[in-house]
Amino acid sequence: MAVKKAAKKAVRAGGPVADEAESAAAVPTAKAGKRILLVDDDAEIVESMRTVLESRGYQILVARDGNQGLVLAEGEDPDLVVLDMMMPKRSGFLVLEKLRRSRPNPMRVIMITANEGSRHKAYAEMLGVDDYIRKPFAMDRLLESVDRLLS
């Protein structure tokens, strides 16, 4: 629990979300309309990411646990999934494994986690994650990754 609380504070540490959203809104993007699925059980982190990504023109879908994330990923076919590693009902690893096995063309996945273990990163990379971001992270780091993967 302490790790999750520290991660929430740190995600916001890059400056107020409103300031980031305002500066992001000023940046034109050719990727407007792309759909991103956020799979995370932390409502504050999800809302921070949603605010910034929607200000860039992305359409956001939200799942609060791994099972719900799989259902939405398979049913909605988003352009990108931002996936937390530690969640209730089904971990991010299990979601990623299932997505990689069940799809002929793998969707883009960014895994976010407060876990600092290098074995977890290596395993995520072995499963084919497109980017791996450790919490705490600045919203600019997430936006750079999202823009790169959806360009």
Q: What is the CATH number of the domain that holds 130?
A: 3.40.50.2300
Question: Which two three-digit tokens encode residue 134?
Answer: 């450790």
pLDDT tens by residue, 140-150 = 999 999 999 99
* The Cα angle at residue 126 between residues 121 and 129, in degrees rounded to 5: 70
pTM above 0.75, yes or no: yes
Range of the domain at 74: 2-150
Instruction: List, for residues 88-110, the tens digit of each pLDDT value.
Output: 899 999 999 998 887 778 899 99
Q: Are 112 and 135 in contact (CB under 8 A)?
A: yes
Residue 150 CB burial class (10 angstroms; 0-12, 13-18, ≥19): middle
φ and ψ at residue 131, rounded to 5 degrees: -155, 155
Maximum distance among all Cα pairs of the chain, rounded to whole angstroms? 40
User: Which tokens belong to 81?
Assistant: 């999934």
Structural domain count of the chain: 1
